[in-house]
Structure formats: structure tokens, C-alpha cells
Chains A and B, each alone.
Chain A
Amino acid sequence: MDLSEYRDISTRRHFFRYCAGGIDAAALAVLSAGYSNALAAPGPAGPLAPRAAHFEASAKNVIFLLMAGAPSQIDLYDPKPALQRWHGQPLPESMTKDLSLAFVKPSAKVLASPRVFRRHGESGTEFSDYIPHVASRADDICLLRSMHTEAFNHHPGQSLLMSGSTQLGRPTVGSWVSYGLGSESESLPAFVVLSSGRGSSGGSSNWSNGFLDSTYQGVVFRNTGEPILFLENPPGVSERTQRARLDAIRKLNQERHALTADSEIASRIQSYELAFRMQAAAPDLLDFSEESQSTLDMYGVGKEPTHPYATNCLLARRMVEKGVRFVMLVHASWDDHQEIDRKLGNNCAITDQPAGALLKDLRQRGLLDSTLVVWGGEFGRTPMGQLERVDEAAGRDHHAKCFSVWMAGGGVRGGQVIGKTDELGLGIEEHPVHVHDLQATILHALGLDHERLTYRHMGRDFRLTDVGGTVISQALA
């Protein structure tokens, strides 16, 4: 969307009053008649009204599995048998002189992966034995082994991955998508965030609307207690009395509207109706009673250690079914500077089964074709160990020069590996993919041209991909 299109949207309120049947017809219905009419013609209006993409989309929805803290590609996705030769030895300086490292010195000793890699699926992609469930979806997965980024500290790295800039304050990908496409749901937000584990380094900046208005913020959905903040009625207020309260508010707002003719009041009435619908729809998402036991088991709902992440993955599928445009699952933290083998094992035990189940479930229900699933963290980890020792206490440092991310569904061609790192995993040999390229590709799958999806702020047309980004055409079917 360019500036003129955006202006159209923001002056839409002016337009709709004289053009009944415009996109705010529902709001008009609320004004002119009672609430039953409003329910008969629901649908997001205003800044979240569905908008046409730039071109035909291959994906309608995105589920972004953010693995905050940077999982080790060397132990999960990018086998480096050659490291065995160097295990316990420092690498020659000529190989390491260009590395930017956060903690270790380039002279640190190499730590070969103790994990075992095997080929999976017809495509024969290699995955580590720590992630059998994701590996079982090998033929759905497009594995990017040649990701790279500039940031090698967590918060700037997460910021770059989610918002296209290491500097905080820009809108994140989910906000851009809901700004660009609006919402398909009439009772749920367009951009929902689910969190598990410890908080991520970026905190709420990972789903910030930046300089876009709060309409486009990621709405945090909690899988215990009140799913969305302030969703539950206050003590003593039943659904009936809440409805009556809303009706009274609506009637008085209508009185004021009659006097002032301010279309903001119509939008306000509409927001209250959407809020009421959200109060019913959001808890329904958490009601898993219609899910079969085998589905719950497939995700690992109700079992430890998978339960929290499994719940989020299942919720993500249910949200996609209900039209939530962008679901982001944050899991932290993969920042294993010490004891990486044990800690990585823990995180994989928590997340692998649910993530694998999500792909399988989406595939079985015919949703994977229209849902793009992305799995990744903000950077990778070094082939060198962090401590002087290379035993089980060792961990790995941050590594920005190469890491692995995968995509599946939503028009992505599965069963392929893109890019190649060198035999020690220090750098990229083939087909480098920058974070901005990944972002351009996500937008592309949704039918958005990353160079045209802009917003004027501080005299500049900002975009998610900053000044970079090339769609990874090889990834697309």
C-alpha cells in the first residue's frame, strides 16, 4: 500500500457517510438500527477492513515460530562432520579473522556436534536426532541453511528479524501484514502472539506496531487465565448484563453521534461490538473439547514437557481456521552459552513434537497450502565452544554469518534445501539469504510487494525490508 492508498483508508470515514454500502456499512447499520442488525452484518471495518493484496497470494495466513535466543543450527539443521577433525582444537587465525563474536575469542576451541544426523523423507534432507517430528515433515519443509544477519546480540537481532532493523521502534512483520491486508476475522484480532518459556530478549518490541497505530499491534493471547487482557467481564457482570451495558453505551453514543455527526463515534460503536464478539470467540479457541484425543496426543497437549508449546501450536491452527492473519509463537530461550547439548535437548523435547504436529495437522486439514509456517531464531551459533573445555559443559557463542531457518506451506516448495555453508559452518558458500530476503518472501507469499508496502514516517517511506530484500524465488513452488 502506498501513501495515497493509505490516505484513502484514513479518509474513508468521510467517504462512507455519503456512500452507504462502503466498507463501513456495518458501522452504519449499528447507527441506524439496533444491535441485531449489527450482528447480521458483522465484519471488520475501518483500518482492519480486508484489503486487496498487490498480486495473487499463495498464502492467506502466517504462523511464525520465533525461536528466540538463537538455536544452534550446527546441532539441529546443518550437519558439519568435518568439525570432528578439529574438535578440541582452535581454528587457524586465517579462518576466523573476519568473525564478529559476542563473547568468545576467535581462538576458541572447536566443538563438534554430538548429535547424529539422518536423511528424511523422499527429499532426503538431513536433520538432527533431536528433532524427529519436524524431520518427519521433511518433504513439506524448505530448509534455508544459508541465512545471515548483521546483528550478533539478541535484542538487535530479534529486532532485525521481526522488524527489519536493529534499531527499535519499527513495526514488526505481523503489524505490516495486518496493515497491508487487514483482517479476515470478524471476532478476533488480525495479529496474535502466543508466548512460552522465559520471556524473549525483545519482549513486546518483537510484536510492536512501531509507528503504525495501535490497531496493528500484536495482541498477546495467553493460554491460561484470561486469554486476552481485559477480556473477562468484571466481577458480577454476566454476559447478559455486559450486553445490556453495551446497549446502553451504544444508545448514548448514538445520541452524541446524532448531534455531532462525528464518524469516530460510529467507529467507536463498531469497536465495542467487535470487543463483545471477541469476548465470546477468544475463549472458544481455548475450548479443545471438539478436538479428538489423537489430535491432542499428536501435539502433546496435556503431557509434559510439551503441554505449553503444544497448546500454543494447536491454538495457532485454530486461529488460522478462524481467520487470524498472523500468528506468532515466541519460545525462549535457546541462548545456550553453556551446556548446550543438554539445554538444546530440553528445548527440542518441548517444541519438536508440537511443531511437527502443527505441520502434519495443517497438511491433513488442507490448510498447509494456504498457511505459511516459518521457524527460526535471530542468528546462529558458532562451531567453536564457549568455554575452554569442550565437554558437556560447553556451549556455543552467537554467530551472525550463517544460520538455518525453515519455511513450509503457503506456496513454498517443500523437500528442498537452499544454500550451503562451508564445511566448518563458519560462513556461507552458496546462495546467501539475508533476513530481509526472508521477510520479502513472507510478504510475497501473502501477495504483498515488500517494496510497495510502505508507510511515511519522519519524512521517509519505511518498509519492513528497510533498503534491502530479494524474494527467495527458489523457495516458491
Chain B
Amino acid sequence: MVPLPSPGIARCLGVLIASLLAQLGSAQQTGSRAGAPARVDFARQIAPILENRCQACHGAAQQQSGLRLDHGAAALKGGYSGPVIVPGSSSTSRLVRLISGGEGDLVMPPFGDRLSSDEVRLIGAWIDEGAHWPATEADAKSARADPPGSGHWAFRPIAKPDPPAVRRVSWVRSPIDSFVLARLEREGVEPAAPASRATLIRRVSLDLTGLPPSPRAIDAYLGDPSPAAYERFVDKLLESPHYGERWATQWLDLARYADSDGYEKDNERPYAWRWRQWVIDALNDDMPFDRFTIEQIAGDVLPDPSVDQQVATGFHRNGLKNREGGVKLEQFRFEETVDRANTVGTVWLGLTVGCAQCHDHKYDPISQEEYYRFFAFFNSVEEAEIAAPMPGEIGPYLQALPEYLKRRRELLEANRVYELLPAWETKMVEAADNPGKWTDWDHALDAVQKYLDNGEGIVRKQRSERTDREQLKLEDHFIKNYHRVISKELWKELDWVGLREQLLRMRAETPDLTYARAIADTSPARRTHIHLRGGWDALGVPVEPGTPGVLPPLAQQGKHPRLALAEWLVSRENPLTARVITNRVWQEFFGRGIVTTADDFGTRSPGPTHPALLDWLAAEFIGSGWSLKGLHKAIVMSATYRQSSDSRPDVEDMDPENELLARQRRLRLPAELVRDVALAASGLLDTRIGGPSVRPAQPPGVADLAYAGSVKWEASRGADGYRRGLYTFLQRTAPYPQLVNFDMPDRTAARCARERSNTPLQALNLLNDSTFVEAARALAVQSLAAGRNVFDDSIRAAFRSCLSRVPTAAELRHLKQYYSEQKAIFDSEPVLAAEFMPLEMPGLDAAQAAAWTGVASVLLNLDEFITRE
């Protein structure tokens, strides 16, 4: 017999035996018992213990570890680790172990005196007697009550409020203005004057396309006196393919997009851009946001998904990946799933669901159980690579394929690859089934799993079940990694290092398709459990996929759970998505959201400054068929948007943060746009849309700071060196310095708003970085050509390219003075002149050209130049 662990338990067992016998009934009474023991009185003996010692943490107010001990059904259900009360069996009830010290260091209650042995005995006896818990009136009431938190503004349904009445009706151009003006009138504040036409079109061009208006567009607009001129201008911008580039940036921040894995060796993701391409295209096509959502969250499980719909699921592939040797695969898979759940929670729901990974959310009505129900939607996600060819790729690929495969086959044949591969596969599967048995093979399997999408799955398939690409990738992996399981001698003899180089060369010379990083589901679906304290390997009770109870119910209708989730996010009943999205759009146009916490619509959010406006926009957004372009147009057409951004000393004291929207705001451009405007104004910009990421020149040594020489930054040549900032290759452990200096997020997790810092490094960047020096030279050449030797005209042309306006007299005077001083200096130092401006300029000597380049450089450094006014 097993020794009894403690007197307490022994006592309980004694009681258990006694009560079991009691339950057998009087008919089988044994001779050794004098009579049935007195029954425990729950209301008198048990309820007070629970109330005084347990319910502070396990009651109505909070349910630590998911456990409630204030009403019967919940108590019997147990907590996240499972039931704690087994009716009729105190010896197997965890509750008894917890209160009697039988769970190691963990004793309940964790503070105050321990329960007395009498109390422990009573609870044990009560459980042994069947843990009978009479229902009370309070239970019935609490079952009917609304879930806690459902009164919070963000969880209430979106109604479309009518625009309020205002006095100054003439100011109102759109219902948006009525909401804003009503508040202003209430506070006794006049709106600001409209921005000048020049300021307005630079503003709206930067907001909608991220590029300054071309001099020609400025002329056309200023020359068009019609009241409809602005709307026509806006419509053109919305039709511009640069619109998708501008608005993709915000989505890339939310989707934590990057071109590399993020951890340690920070491997390149050569096809990450294919998802970005999908985003740009979708935005340019004004894909309705509900479809935009569904395809990214669940494109792979739509009926007969198209390639594009599968590409869209690359959203889930943008998170960090740790392929460090020695990383536990299941641990990291758990962390990736957490990242997917948290990202969707933030991006669509504006909720910090991630707070409930380890414990019930401290502020919002999201329990840890609900967190793992949400997590369950993503728990069966597997990584998949698909062919996602760009136009024009398929023909040459198919043409070259047979010859390529033939040559490849010959090469592999000659190098014994086909001969050795089957045994390696077999042994790999054996290793997978017997972890810890063979160290070398464990490591080899680890490499397959880390470096091949769904690596183990592919190895386990029969050759005939694999796609051709899976087979080729497996062969490539085998050739690269076979050394892990064979002797040095054999590896040397095989010389597969040479073979690999040959294969890479062949691959590079053969036309190939573009691929995409997508997802697929494991089959059967993985079972999800609550993870106790958020630990990857601490499994609690199993849970089913589901959405938080405070939000409208999920309509499953036999759908794939992830698809049901996607549709639920953009259902009319969902109170969050439309509010969250319109708020972020608003934030881009005004520098702050109607809700300032764009990443948190929970109970800790200060709430909307203009609640009715937010709801009107959200309802309008849904009503328009989720058209982002429609929403953008509604905002930029409003008088509110068109106000001047100059400061208002009359309002500043009462409204320093411009909460009332009594003016527009000057906003420093996002990092990518700082680059874009310099390249665009100087005529250097390569305006091609989309395509793979590029590596513009950066100072030497930047990439060396990444891990052990694993990152190489070979500057792109030709036009690729002059592309917009959003195409810059995003190497997470050694990001492009200019983007970092101007607050591009690190893209480790969803980011809902950017900082706008103002630092000396930014000054150095604009003054001295070769990109901006080159832009100054190009601007000098370009604006001079427009104004032939006439200094004033040239300055005007340069001003127009950079700032979309003409200079003031004082500005002209300062620049002229600067020019002549510079010219004098360069006259005396011709070597410096030629270094600063190596290009010849028609009609100018070297000193003039250098001084003129200096003027151009001044313009590119102005605060106004990198600001949207």
C-alpha cells in the first residue's frame, strides 16, 4: 500500500471511506460502524469558509486561475487547470490538496492563516458527501445579468447618429463638420480659417499618395477657379497608384511586416514582399475592407481560394521567427500563435487581448479562458509556401522547366543524391517518432523543421504525395544538411558543397516564379488548452474556439472556425472593428485619433473626444460597403480637414492638444515619406509600383552590427536605389538607419501609431547622408533648368518642387544672401566646390553650381519640407 502523504489526507480518506459506506446505504451497513455520520451543513459550515477565505480571489469580482467558488455550477466546473472538486472523492479533489498543503509550495489561501484542520476536514467531508451545493436566488440573478463590461462605450452597438444642429451652417461642408462645429460652438471657439490652396493640395497629396504634387499639377489646380477643382484634384489622387503605396505603410505597421525573421541570424524572407504587393493592389482597387479582412485572416479556407486569396494570408506570416539552434519548436510555435492572436486582437478589435495570456485581463472583460478560445482560431495554422507568379513569369518558367529539371536530375543522379535520400528520409521519420534517441538525428530533424516550411510534414509524405516544389526543396535541404548525420570523410568524398553551388547557379540562371508565404491548416485541427500562467508547456483544461463573451456571438454555421471569426470581425453587429479602423484613418489625417489610444479601446481608454462623430464615421464606413477610399474622401472633403494648421494662440491655453479640432495640425512626415519627398522633389524617384524589396545605399558597417556577419547589405543598383521608402528591405536586426532615425517602428508587433520625434540624428541624416546630398544636387540641376540663369525663377521652381508654394520676400532675401556668401567661399576654394557639386551645370561655373546646390540642400532640410502642414 502507498504510504499516506499526510495526516490531513489520511483524515480525509477516513472520512471518504466513511461517507462511501454511508452512500452504499443502510441496507449494507457493516458491523463495525455504529451509525451514519452527521451530514455537513453547506450553508452553515462550508459557505462561510468559502466566503471569508476564498471568494476575494475566486468570486464574482475576480476569478483567479478561472476558478469561482461562489456558486455551485462554476465551482464544480473548476478552474483553468481543470476541476478542483470531485464530488464524492475528497482524496482526488485538488481543492483539498490545495488547502491542506498537499501541493508542494502552493497552499490556499496564499495569505492569512492556513485553514484549520477542522475546516479542511469539513470541506473534505462535504465533498465526500457529494459536494451538494444548493442553488440560491443570487445564482439565478447572476446568470441573467449582462456580462461585466458590456456597458462600456466601445462594446455598445454602433448607431448612426444624426449630425447635430449648428449655428454657423455656412461652414459645414459635410456631416463631419456638423459634429466638430457643434462641439466648437459649445466651447465658444471659432474654427480656423481654411488653409491656403497651396498648403491644402500639398497636404492632401501627401496624405493620399505620400508624394508632393508635381509643379504641373499645382499649376493646373491653381489655374482652375471652379469650386469643384478641389474635388477633382482629390479624385485624381484617389485614383493614383501611389495611393496604395501611401496607405500600405500604415497597414504594414499593423501587420508587423518585415523582410527578415527577426531573431539572431535574422534570415532573409525573399518573398515577403509578395504579401505587401497584395496589400498595395487591394488598397488601389479599393477592395472593401470586409473582404480585405476575410482574405487576410482566412483566405486559405475560403471555398476554392484563388492564389491572391492565399497570398493575403501572408498577414499571419509577418511575425518574428526564431530559428536559433536549440530553440524548442513547440515553444516557439506557441509564441507565434500568441503573436497571431494578439495581432488580430489589436488590429481589428483594438483590444489588448494579449494581457490575458497569463491571467484574466486586469481591466477588460477578457478572461484567460476567453483568451485561449480566441487563440484556438490560430492554433492549427501551419506555414505554407505557394507559387504566386507575377504577370509575365509563367511563360518563361514553363519554357525553361523541362530542361532545368532534366539537368538537375542528371546532376543529382551523378552525385548519388537519389541513392542516399530515401534512407535519410526513413531515418528522419524514425527520429521524429523517437525523440532523444539519436542526438545527431534530433539536430537534423530540428533543422528540417526550422528551415523548411512544414518540414516534418514533407518528410513524412510519400514522394508521390509531395508537390514538385516540396520535393525540390527537400532535396535542396538534404544536400545542404546531410553533413549533420554522416562522417566528415563521407561528406568530403561527396563534395556536395560544390554541388550546391552548381545548383544555385543553375537556379539563378533559370526563370523562376514568385512564391508567397501563406498558411494552411493542420488536419485534424489541434486541440487547444488553456496555458496556465501563459506557459507554453503548462496545459490546463481544453477549450473550443470562441470570441469574448462581452461581444456579439459568433455565427459558426458549420464554417471553418477561422473563417467564421473573419466574418464575425466585419459583421454589422461587431461594435469594434469599424470604430477601430475609422479611428486609425482619422488619426492619419489629423495626427491624433478621436480615440487617442488607437491600440486600446478597452476600459482604460480615455474614450472618444467626439463619440457621435466616431460612430457616424463607423456607420458610414460600413454603409458605404466598407470603402476605405470613400472614407478617405469624406474626410478630406470636410471643412474640418481643410482648416489651416497654424497654431491658435487664442485656443492654445484651453486646448493645447487640439482635441477640439479648432485647426489642422502640422505633422512631421513618416520615415518612408521623408525619403520619398526628397527623391520626388529632386526628380530622382523611381515611380514603379510594387515588386521585391530593395537595398538603397547605406553607410558601411551598419549590417555588421547584426549577428556574426549573417546579414549582407549589397546596395541595389540603378533605379532600384531610388525607390520609395516602403520598398526598403526591412532587416529587423539591422534596419535602414534613415528609417530608424525617423521613427519607423521595429515591426516586432502590431503598431497602431507612430512617434514623431525631433532629434539631432535626424538633422545629421538630412544634412549629410549621401542620399540627401544627391537629392540636393539633382534638385539644383532640375530647378535651374526650369529657370535659366534667373536666380529668382530658379528659387521659385525649387520652392515649388519642394514646398508647393512660392517663397516670401524674406525667404528670397535669406537665400540670396546665403547663395552669394557660399559663392564667395567656393570661389576661393574651387576644390571644395567641385567635391560638393561634381556635376557640370550649364551656364554656371563650379562655384556657382556648388553654391546653388547649397541652396537646394537648405530647402531639403527645412522643417516645412519634411512636414505636412
Identify the A interface with B (CB < 8 A).
11, 14, 17-18, 46-47, 101-103, 105, 152-156, 167-169, 189, 195, 198-205, 208, 210-215, 217, 219-220, 222, 225-226, 228-238, 240-242, 244-249, 251-253, 255-256, 259-265, 267-269, 271-272, 274-275, 278-279, 332-333, 397-398, 457-460
Contact = CB atoms under 8 A, between A and B. Distances in A.
A459 B733 contact: no
A271 B733 CA distance: 27
A221 B268 CA distance: 26
B810 A255 contact: yes
10 contacts: A213-B757, A235-B835, A235-B836, A244-B825, A245-B858, A252-B858, A256-B862, A267-B758, A459-B355, A459-B605
B325 A203 contact: no
B764 A279 contact: yes
Interface stretch (B171-179, B500-508, B646-654): B646-654
A255 B552 CA distance: 55
Mostly helix, strand, loop or mixed at chain A's interface?
Answer: mixed
B309 to A, nearest CB: 30
Given A103-B326, A154-B324, A202-B264, 10 more contacts: A102-B325, A214-B741, A214-B761, A217-B740, A228-B761, A228-B764, A237-B836, A245-B818, A261-B647, A265-B863
A333 B324 CA distance: 15
A271 B707 contact: no
A289 B440 CA distance: 55
A219 B266 contact: no
Nearest to A158: B264
Interface in B293-313: none
B600 A458 contact: yes
Contacts of B704: 199
B858 A203 contact: no
Interface string B729-766: 00011110100111101101101000111111111110
B457 interface: no
Contacts of B346: 458
A237 B831 CA distance: 11
A262 B829 CA distance: 38
B733 A205 contact: yes
B705 interface: yes
B356 to A, nearest CB: 12
A457 B436 CA distance: 42
B322 A103 contact: no
Nearest to B710: A199
B764 A230 contact: yes
B862 A234 contact: no
A200 to B, nearest CB: 7
Contact of A219 (B604, B605, B761, B867): B761
Nearest to A10: B657
B821 interface: yes
A203 B869 contact: no
Interface string B314-331: 000000101011110000
A365 B643 CA distance: 59
A229 B702 contact: yes
B233 to A, nearest CB: 23
A229 B764 contact: yes
Given A236-B837, A241-B825, A260 B740 contact: no
Given A14-B656, A248-B815, A262 B647 contact: yes
Contacts, number: 270
Contacts of A213: 743, 755-757
A371 B811 CA distance: 48
B488 interface: no
Q: For the complex of A and B, list the 3 residue pairs with the smallest distance between their C-beta atoms, beginning with the closest.
A: A102-B326, A236-B836, A203-B733
Contacts of B599: 457-459
A7 to B, nearest CB: 9
Contacts of B836: 234-237, 241
A235 B605 CA distance: 51
Contacts of B770: 234
A230 B656 contact: no
A230 B322 CA distance: 32
B811 A225 contact: no
B742 A214 contact: yes
B857 A105 contact: no
B681 interface: no
Nearest to B850: A236
A152 B733 CA distance: 19
A260 B764 contact: no
Contact of B699 (A103, A200, A229, A235): A229
A386 to B, nearest CB: 11
B668 interface: yes
A212 to B, nearest CB: 8
Interface in B551-603: 597, 599-600, 602
B167 interface: no
A272 B866 CA distance: 14
Nearest to B355: A460
Nearest to B773: A234
B352 interface: yes
B328 to A, nearest CB: 8
B863 A256 contact: yes
Contacts of A237: 832, 836
A265 B863 CA distance: 6
Contact of A199 (B708, B743, B755): B708
B327 A230 contact: no
B758 A274 contact: no
Contacts of A458: 346, 352, 354, 599-600
A201 B324 CA distance: 9
Contacts of B198: none
A244 B822 CA distance: 8
Given A230-B764, A234-B773, A203 B825 contact: no
A448 B326 CA distance: 36
A153 B763 contact: no
Contacts of B763: 268, 271-272, 274-275
B858 A231 contact: no
A168 B262 contact: yes
Contacts of A397: 326
B52 interface: no
Nearest to B747: A169
Given A256-B863, A264-B666, A230 B646 contact: no
Interface string B343-360: 000100000101100000
A261 B651 CA distance: 13
B858 A271 contact: no
Contacts of B761: 189, 214, 217, 219, 228-230, 275
Given A155-B324, A260-B869, A248 B814 contact: yes
Nearest to A235: B835
A251 B864 CA distance: 13
Nearest to B752: A458
A267 B765 CA distance: 16
Contacts of B327: 102, 153
A241 to B, nearest CB: 6
Contacts of B746: 168-169, 205, 208, 210
Nearest to B829: A238
Contacts of A212: 755
Contacts of B352: 458-460
Contacts of A222: 701
A21 B447 CA distance: 62
A229 B737 contact: yes
B758 A230 contact: no
B402 interface: no
Nearest to B743: A214
A203 B646 contact: no
A274 B761 CA distance: 9
Given A202-B733, A204-B734, A169 B749 contact: yes
B782 interface: no
A205 to B, nearest CB: 6
A236 B835 contact: yes
A229 B325 CA distance: 33
A102 B761 CA distance: 40
A255 B818 CA distance: 15
